[in-house]
Amino acid sequence: MSALAARLGDTLLARGWLDADQLDIAQAEVHAGRPLEQALAQLGFVPDGVLRDTLAELLGLDSLEARALVADSTALAVVPAHWARQLRILPLRYAPANQTLTIASARPADLRAHDQLVAASQGQVARVHVQLADEADILQALDRAYGAPDTLSAVLTEWRSGQQDGEAPAVRLAQALIEDAARLGASDIHLEPEAGFVRIRYRIDGVLRPARSLRKAHWPPLLVRLKVMGGLNIAEQRAPQDGQLSMQVAGRTLDIRVACLPTLHGENLSLRLFDRARGLPTLASLTTSTQHAQLTRMLARPEGMLLVTGPTGAGKTTTLYAMLAHLNDSTVNIMTLEDPVEYPLPMVRQTPVNEALKLDFASGIRALMRQDPDILLVGEIRDEATARMAFRAAMTGHLVLSTLHAHSALGAIPRLLDLGVGPDMLAGNLIGVVGQRLVRALCPACRQPVPTDSRARRLLGAAADQAMLYRARGCPLCRHDGHRGRLPVLEILDIDSELDAMIGRRAPLADLRRHAGQQGFIPLAEAMRSRVLAGEVALDEALRVVDLGHRAGED
């Protein structure tokens, strides 16, 4: 191990970011050929920002966050794009007077790369000044600075023309396809065979968008390659299969779920992408200040059930993980049961359900209860056995978090009754319910004001006349879509003593809704109206996700 790595380990140990056992584990990775800082980051022992800042301090360098990685056009002109990508550096500034180039690098001690950079500049650079940044941030900044390389098109063109060098074209195409989807921020890749071609679509910000069309002749080798990568049986073509893989893309680790399904025109394949480098959002970032106070108060309860409801793709699991991150410390034992485990969490015991081994949600809860947990996360309540076991756990001194498919927070109550959870079990044990949706945010750089018309007044109320409404337009920053990212829209039902008593005596849903409203419950439709009136969301996008004319909380 190098002297720098030894100093880094000792410094993190002295400052309490590591304990001795964690350092020993990371050093074992170093002996296997991995730099210590990379081992610590991938093991999740030390936050990336702490690693970067500590390393920069030891080297006497500036430490740069992602938002500071802005390249000057003069510096970009000095370093060709292919050299910057190959060396994984971002040219930041160039001073012609003394021929000094300032770069961002994740490997500042790589002097060989600096020599190559000087040589590639053809005499324009005599000295390289280095600033430290995370490699994943640098690679994303390179795409912004030079433009993203369209390797997918290049691979397809080579395949069609027969100009195939090095790796088999299906291997390169599979890699390029996943890299292209990850670069565009896709959560899913759909490969859909038709009679004469294969349609490729990406799900970006919750909406499926056409990406490519592939010749049918190219599909069999690509399908085999993706099945091999996902650990699927390539000989099996008549039954559904599920698999998974991990791969490095632009310096980030992607966990990918692969699902194969026979269809009329061949095997359909879908890939779900999980980007570890993005990290998990905090509870505060997902909620308003009022909602955050509500949730933290509920999560402070030592026992009971807290549910998150919404359709598939509404971000329920992300919200649950944010809750766990809020609760996670060395004084509690947190255990999860998931199908599948979507994101590894430090200090949390995560168990995937396995129907083949008779480990379903209901039996899994029983097993977890024998591990002395304080907090349980149950991925989904989908049947009576799971519902009853989860509520038994909540009744016996455990805080239980889970998801439920219901249209609204209030709709969770009749849904649980339908699942066989009696009112006597619900009353006194249900802490609260979060109803959630995800909505595409307008691109702030190109959103276009629109006049308030009668439709907007009807759906948004009198406040529409005092607000500036916007629609999506499209620009290079949002790839001409008009939207950038997604926003969570939440309703939070706090079960107070009166509502609890009403649930216990099976009060009608209308009465529950009336009481919740009197206590300040803000339904999804109203929360969505606030997003539209604030100029964050287009009215048409809001209507795609929530019926603004529907009465609050109805199912």
Asked which of 6-10, 64-68, 266-270, 314-318 is least confident by mean pLDDT, the reply is 64-68
At 380 the three-state DSSP class reads coil
The answer to whether residues 163 and 22 belong to one domain is no
Of 379, 378, 390, 374, the closest CA to residue 333 belongs to 374
CATH number of the domain where residue 206 is located: 3.30.450.90
How many Cβ atoms sit within 10 Å of the Cβ of residue 75?
20
The answer to whether residues 317 and 221 belong to one domain is no
Average pLDDT of the chain is 89
| 220 — pLDDT class (breaks 50, 70, 90) | very high
Averaged pLDDT for residues 263-272 = 96
The answer to whether residues 187 and 270 belong to one domain is yes
Residues 6+ apart with CB under 8 A from 201: 189, 190, 192, 208, 209, 210, 211
User: Which pair of tokens denotes residue 547?
Assistant: 């019926």
What's the confidence (pLDDT) of residue 277?
64
pLDDT, tens digit, 9 for 90 and up, residues 340-364: 888 888 889 999 998 888 899 999 9
Q: Are 280 and 322 within 8 A, CB to CB?
A: yes
Q: Is-cis flag, bond preceding 340, omega within 30?
A: yes
User: Which pair of tokens denotes residue 304?
Assistant: 């009971």
The answer to whether residues 265 and 287 belong to one domain is no
For the chain, the domain total comes to 4
Domain-embedded: residue 450: no
For residue 149, pLDDT beyond 70: no
Residues 6+ apart with CB under 8 A from 504: 423, 424, 426, 427, 428
The answer to whether residues 39 and 74 belong to one domain is no
The last residue of a domain, from among 101, 130, 146: 146
User: Which pair of tokens denotes residue 392?
Assistant: 């038994």
pLDDT, tens digit, 9 for 90 and up, residues 395-448: 999 999 999 999 999 999 999 999 999 999 999 999 999 999 999 999 999 999
Domain-embedded: residue 526: no
- Domain hosting 415: range is 283-437+486-521
What is the spatial distance between Cα 36 and Cα 5, in angstroms, rounded to a whole number? Answer: 6
The answer to whether residues 124 and 200 belong to one domain is no
pTM listed for this prediction: 0.73
Q: Which residues pair with residue 493 across a beta bridge?
A: 433
| 553 — pLDDT class (breaks 50, 70, 90) | very low
Sheet with 100-105: strands ordered across: 89-95, 100-105, 127-132
| 24 — pLDDT class (breaks 50, 70, 90) | confident
- What residue spans of 342-496 are helical by DSSP H? 361-369, 384-395, 412-418, 423-426, 454-460
The answer to whether residues 429 and 293 belong to one domain is yes
At 225 the three-state DSSP class reads helix
Q: Say how far residue 97 (Cα) sits from the centre of its chain.
A: 45
How many angstroms separate the Cα of 555 from the Cα of each of 216, 412, 414, 525, 526? 44, 9, 9, 13, 16
CATH number of the domain where residue 414 is located: 3.40.50.300
The answer to whether residues 406 and 364 belong to one domain is yes
Residues 6+ apart with CB under 8 A from 81: 142, 146, 147, 149
The answer to whether residues 369 and 512 belong to one domain is yes
Averaged pLDDT for residues 328-348 = 91
The answer to whether residues 230 and 109 belong to one domain is no
The answer to whether residues 296 and 319 belong to one domain is yes
Domain-embedded: residue 527: no
User: Which pair of tokens denotes residue 352?
Assistant: 């995937």
Q: Say how far residue 339 (Cα) sits from the centre of its chain.
A: 16
Sheet with 207-215: strands ordered across: 207-215, 197-204, 186-193, 266-275, 252-263, 241-249
Phi, psi of 430 (to 5 degrees): -85, 115
Burial class of residue 196 in the structure, from the number of CB atoms within 10 Å of its CB (0-12 exposed, 13-18 middle, 19+ buried)? exposed
At 102 the three-state DSSP class reads strand
Sign of CA dihedral 313, 314, 318, 324: negative
Averaged pLDDT for residues 258-269 = 96
How many angstroms separate the Cα of 539 from the Cα of each of 274, 407, 456, 491, 519? 30, 20, 8, 19, 28
For residue 42, pLDDT beyond 80: no
The last residue of a domain, from among 129, 146, 163: 146
SS (H, E, C) 297-322: HHHCCCCEEEEEECCCCCCHHHHHHH
What's the confidence (pLDDT) of residue 116?
79
The answer to whether residues 358 and 493 belong to one domain is yes
